[in-house]
Structure formats: structure tokens, C-alpha cells
Amino acid sequence: KILILDFGSQVTQLIARRVREAHVYCEIHPNDVSDDFVRQFAPKGIILSGSHASTYEDHQLRAPQAVWDLGVPVLGICYGMFTMAVQQGGQVEASDHREFGYAEVRAHGHTKLLQGIEDFSTAEGHGMLKVWMSHGDKVTALPPGFKLMASTPSCPIAGMADEARGYYAVQFHPEVTHTLQGRALLERFVLTIAGARPDWVMKDHIAEAVARIREQVGDEEVILGLSGGVDSSVAAALIHRAIGDQLTCVFVDHGLLRLNEGDMVMDMFVGQLQAKVIRVDASELFLGKLAGVSDPEAKRKIIGAEFVTVFKQEAAKLVGTGVNADGSGRAAKGAKWLAQGTIYPDVIESGGAKTKKAVTIKSHHNVGGLPEQLGLKLLEPLRDLFKDEVRELGVALGLPHEMVYRHPFPGPGLGVRILGEVKKEYADLLRRADAIFIEELRNWKDEATGKSWYDLTSQAFTVFLPVKSVGVMGDGRTYDYVVALRAVQTSDFMTADWAELPYGLLKKVSGRIINEVRGINRVTYDVSSKPPATIEWE
Ligand code: XMP
């Protein structure tokens, strides 16, 4: 396994991602872990990350001495390179002006790290790399035993190596995709130079995670807020695999879920996994609170706050009091843990390596502060995983592929897909129309790729417009509601293009909705991209 020491860069998690893509197990820990920790971790190789701008000025952060005493290969990236230079006796010139940008780097000589790795070569035959680089601070003198490995005109020492000891460092960032050969470079380091085994597979991960959960929890009880979303579902399945009945899931149904979604969650977890799930039907409560409210942010706030209140009430019953709300008659010891499906991207660095990592949870199950309020310890078994790893894990745990690869669904649910005031009548119409749209997307295969249009889009849904338009059906005039279909393609949800769905598919969906959902007589397709529109309508 590989140890990544984090000096507080925003992109440290990408290093882990690239290493995992090479199927090598790795963990990220703060740069100031103890020497004992480093020794006990027994890494095959160590990667020192970059840092955020402010630490560059004084170059105070250091890697533990054990990093240099272990005799394993070390790769320094950006700030990690400075640390390596300083700790190995080289010289660094600080600068308070830094820039992150594209650069072309000449890869010198034939180091084991860069051999054969290049984007193009110059007329003189020099291998060149296209990279993203931090400009500003510089290593100005190589430490003893090091040779030059890379350079640019403005940064004469952009890479250095002491190959006898397996020490390599680069000023640029191999972990970002803008550095085209970054993945190859990191793979070369972990597999060839550090000799880590590419054996990180899901099966091992499950066994490891199960053992860790058992060790952490012992015979204590755990509560988990199940939302039906991918993360909380996978967390529930994993924890259930580890501790069975010591886990109780609380599923707050706010009445703004998709068609049959609540029943499907129950079927899956109670019917198939035989987990304990308390379903709280709070739809009337939520609709009551939402009555007369049409401002999108106000609706979001109400749904979020109500969600926490209801969850807290249910959780409180399971804590300490010994009340066993599932009616099983089994004596409950009172829960001691709150489990959350926090995944790696949710774990946001705050204030760099010195500060403990802060956790942000999506607004909907924003139960931040809840563990303290309920006097519970926090259990987050997915903390180290990226979304695609969480999905893989879910499938390996036996969750249906369809559930695990679902499009994202916002916490406030249909609450933000019914424009303006939310009413039960609207939600019922929307649910039926949306189910038809999603069903047809799943059925309609693209000829070229053989994939369904559900898989070819990143997010697709129906929006309810509380306006009426005139139509004609049979011999009669209709005066009914309008829905908009929305389907987008995006990789990061920050920008998105509307999907060019086949006309045949749109035609079928519109025909079915208008014929099958009495109350809707007009279907439109949203052809706005983000920006300037957003993906959701509210
Ligand atoms: P927008 O509409 O901002 O959406 O382009 C980007 C992504 O975020 C989701 N989204 C939400 N998720 N609570 C959530 O949990 C919310 O209030 C919320 N609003 C938008 C949206 O579905 C899309 O995937």
C-alpha cells in the first residue's frame, strides 16, 4: 500500500484516485502524523502532496523523519518537492506570487520515473511533457545525490531524482488530468518504482471494511438515515453486512419521492437484505409545512429543516431509552452510533493539513451537528471512496445495478421539481409522468452504442409547471397542466448540455404521458444548457 501525506492541497484526493485507478491501495493522512504512524503503516512508497498557497511563504510544513528513514521510494509533488529539497539539504526560494497553469516541461535524461513517458519530442530530440504547474517558488539548488529530471525555461529545476534511494519529485501536478501523462507517471511510481501490488479489488475492500466496522462498533447499536440515494443505501448494505441487526435504518419519507420509491427502498432493505428499517411516513407533515410557500430557497430550507427534525425525533427514540421502535421485542441497548454515507468528495479539507478535515453533507441529509446533539459517535464507512467506487461496492454487496447506477436525485426531491407551491395533486401527477419518461429512457437503446438513453444521460427528470393550457382530446376540449422533460449530459454537474434525445423517444414519451396521465395535456422539452440555466428548474 501507498501512503499519501497531505500538506493541504485542494487536489490531494486526486492523487489517491489515480493510485486507486492503478488498483493499488492507498490512504491519505495529514503531513504531521507521527514517525511511529509512518513505520506502522509500512508503506511500499510514500507520496508527498502539494499544499495551498499560504504555506509556501514560510515552507514550514515537513514530512515526518520516518519518511526518509524507512528506505522506501518517495515522490514529492509541488510542495512535496520543496519539502523533499529542504529536508534533503537542497535550497528553495520562496515567492509569494504563485500561478497554476499550463506548461511544457522538458524531461531530462532517462530516469526510471519518466523513461518512455512523453507527449512529444523537440527537434533536438528532447522528450517533452504537457503539464499543469505551480509557478512561483522554486528549488534553486539540488540536494546532494540528486540529479535534474525536468525543467522549463522559467523553472530550471522542475523535477529531481535520487534514483539510488528512489526519491523523485516534480514541480508540476501529475494528479490532475491536464497533465496528460500524469496517470502514467503515478502508475510508474507506485507499480514499478515502489513495487506496490495492483491488487486492490472490491472483494478485499468489503472484507476489510466489514472487519473495521466490527472493530469500531463492537456490540453497540447503530442508527443510519436511509434516503434511498446511492450513498446511504450502500453504507446501509455494508454496515448491515458487518453487524446485521445492530443496525437500525430510519427512512424519512417526505412524500416528495418518485413513484413507488419508498416501497422499493423497503422491499430492498427489509424484503431482501432483511435489515431493520423504520419508515416514517411524514408526507402530510411536509406538505403541511410547504403549504403556501412558493419561493424555491424557502422550500429547500423547510424541507431540509423538517427532515432533520423528523430524523432526530426518530433517532432519539433509539438512543438511550431502550425503546425498540421496530417492534421486534428485542431489547435495545440504545444506539451509540450514527452512520452516514459520507463519501470522499464530501470530505472537504478545511484550512489545510493542520486542521482536522471537515465534513460537508449534501443539504438534504444535512445532519451536521446531529451526532453531538444526539450524543452519538459518527460512523462513516464510505469516507475513503469515490462515487464510482461506492457504486462498485454497492453492486458487490448485492444491491441492484439499477439502483446503484441511478441518476442523482436532489434531497428536496420533487419539492424543487414542482414550480412554486407544492401540492399533493401536483406531486401525484408529476410522479406518474416522470415514471413514464424514465421507463422509456431505460427502454430506448441507442443503435450506435447499444446503451440506453438513461445511461447516455447524466440526469433526466420531469418538471411540473402549475399552468394550464388548452388541448383537444377526442371530441372534447381539455384545459390541463403542462410538464417539461429535462435531460442533460455533464461530467461534473457544474456545466451541462441538454441531451439530444431521439425524436422518436420524445414522441413516445409525450404520447404516453398525455394519454396515460389525465390532468396533463401538454409536454415540452427543455433545450437550455447550464449555464445560463441550471439543471433543476428551481
Ligand atoms: P443545478 O440545478 O444547480 O443542479 O444545476 C446541480 C445538481 O445538484 C442537484 N441539486 C440538489 N441536490 N439538494 C440536493 O441534494 C438540493 O437542494 C439540490 N439542488 C440541485 C441537481 O439535481 C443536480 O444534480
Q: Which of 364, 387, 493 to mutate to test the pocket of ligand 1 (most atoms within 8 A of CB)?
A: 493
Q: How do 335-339 and 221-226 pair as beta strands?
A: parallel
The predicted pLDDT at position 348 comes to 44
Confidence of residue 486 (pLDDT cuts 50, 70, 90): very high
Contacts by 178-181, CB closer than 8 A, 24 or more apart: 178/102, 178/130, 178/131, 178/132, 179/129, 179/130, 179/131, 179/132, 180/119, 180/129, 180/130, 180/131, 181/117, 181/118, 181/119, 181/129, 181/130
Ligand 1 neighbour 408 (Cβ under 6 A): yes
H helix or E strand, kind and range, residue 236: helix 230-243
Give the Cα separation of 466 and 468 in Å (integer): 7
Cβ pair 129, 180 in contact under 8 A: yes
Q: Tell which wins on pLDDT, 395 or 329.
A: 395
The predicted pLDDT at position 473 comes to 87
Express each pLDDT in 104-115 by its tens digit: 999 887 799 999
Q: 360 alpha carbon to ligand 1 midpoint, in Å?
A: 15
Percent of the chain scored above 90 by pLDDT? 72
Cβ pair 62, 31 in contact under 8 A: yes
DSSP 264-316: HHHIIIIIIS--EEEEEE-HHHHHHHHTT---HHHHHHHHHHHHHHHHHHHHH
CA of 530, closest atom in ligand 1: 5
On whether both 206 and 164 belong to a single domain, the answer is: no
From 158-162, 297-301, 493-497, the region with the lowest mean pLDDT: 493-497
The residue among 193, 213, 236 that closes a domain is 193
Quote the cell numbers at residue 132. 499543469
Burial class (CB in 10 A: 0-12, 13-18, 19+), 445: middle
On whether both 275 and 392 belong to a single domain, the answer is: yes
134 is known to lie in a ligand binding site: no
Q: What are phi and psi of 143, to 5 degrees?
A: -70, 160
Give the Cα separation of 363 and 260 in Å (integer): 23
The predicted pLDDT at position 350 comes to 29
Nearest to 496 by CA among 527, 452, 465, 455: 527
Confidence of residue 364 (pLDDT cuts 50, 70, 90): very low
Maximum CA pair distance of the chain? 92
Ligand 1 neighbour 459 (Cβ under 6 A): yes
Cβ pair 74, 168 in contact under 8 A: yes
Quote the cell numbers at residue 483. 410538464
**Catalytic residue numbers, as ranges:** 78, 173, 175
Q: 214 alpha carbon to ligand 1 midpoint, in Å?
A: 34
The residue among 376, 404, 432 that closes a domain is 404
Give the Cα separation of 441 and 455 in Å (integer): 8
Q: 416 alpha carbon to ligand 1 midpoint, in Å?
A: 9
DSSP 155-175: -S-SEEEETTTTEEEESB-TT
Residue 292 lies in a domain: yes
Q: 536 alpha carbon to ligand 1 midpoint, in Å?
A: 6
Q: 320 alpha carbon to ligand 1 midpoint, in Å?
A: 36
Tally Cβ neighbours within 10 Å of residue 104.
14
Give the Cα separation of 426 and 520 in Å (integer): 10
On whether both 487 and 389 belong to a single domain, the answer is: no
CA of 536, closest atom in ligand 1: 2
DSSP 323: -
Ligand 1 neighbour 300 (Cβ under 6 A): yes
The predicted pLDDT at position 341 comes to 92
On whether both 387 and 299 belong to a single domain, the answer is: yes
Residue 414 lies in a domain: no
Residue 416 lies in a domain: no
Cβ pair 393, 376 in contact under 8 A: no
The residue among 370, 404, 438 that closes a domain is 404
- Per DSSP, the three-state class of 37 is helix
On whether both 182 and 216 belong to a single domain, the answer is: no
Q: Nearest C-alpha to atom 7 of ligand 1 is from which residue? A: 493
Residue 409 lies in a domain: no
Nearest to 411 by CA among 221, 538, 240: 538
- Into how many domains does the chain fold? 3
On whether both 125 and 31 belong to a single domain, the answer is: yes
The predicted pLDDT at position 460 comes to 98
Output the domain CATH number for residue 314: 3.40.50.620
Domain that holds residue 442: 423-525
Confidence of residue 189 (pLDDT cuts 50, 70, 90): very high
CA of 408, closest atom in ligand 1: 24
On whether both 250 and 320 belong to a single domain, the answer is: yes
Express each pLDDT in 249-293 by its tens digit: 999 999 999 999 999 999 999 999 999 999 999 999 999 999 999
On whether both 206 and 181 belong to a single domain, the answer is: no
Complex ipTM above 0.90?
Answer: yes
Q: Nearest C-alpha to atom 8 of ligand 1 is from which residue? A: 410
DSSP 371: H
If you average pLDDT over every residue of the chain, what do you get? 89
Ligand 1 neighbour 412 (Cβ under 6 A): yes
Q: 499 alpha carbon to ligand 1 midpoint, in Å?
A: 17
Residue 78 lies in a domain: yes
On whether both 169 and 132 belong to a single domain, the answer is: yes
On whether both 483 and 443 belong to a single domain, the answer is: yes
Express each pLDDT in 192-246 by its tens digit: 999 999 988 887 789 989 999 999 999 999 999 998 899 999 999 999 999 999 9
The predicted pLDDT at position 124 comes to 86
Q: What are phi and psi of 264, to 5 degrees?
A: -65, -40
CA of 533, closest atom in ligand 1: 5
Range among 363-377, 385-399, 432-446 with highest mean pLDDT value: 432-446
228 is known to lie in a ligand binding site: yes
Ligand 1 neighbour 411 (Cβ under 6 A): yes
The predicted pLDDT at position 360 comes to 31
Residue 411 lies in a domain: no
Ligand 1 neighbour 530 (Cβ under 6 A): yes
On whether both 184 and 108 belong to a single domain, the answer is: yes
Confidence of residue 329 (pLDDT cuts 50, 70, 90): very low
Cβ pair 88, 76 in contact under 8 A: no
Cβ pair 338, 393 in contact under 8 A: no
On whether both 326 and 463 belong to a single domain, the answer is: no
Q: Nearest 5°: CA angle at 270, between 214 and 462?
A: 110
Residue 532 lies in a domain: no
The predicted pLDDT at position 91 comes to 92
231 is known to lie in a ligand binding site: yes
Ligand 1 neighbour 276 (Cβ under 6 A): no
Residue 536 lies in a domain: no
Ligand 1 neighbour 171 (Cβ under 6 A): no
The predicted pLDDT at position 507 comes to 98
The predicted pLDDT at position 368 comes to 60
Output the domain CATH number for residue 506: 3.30.300.10
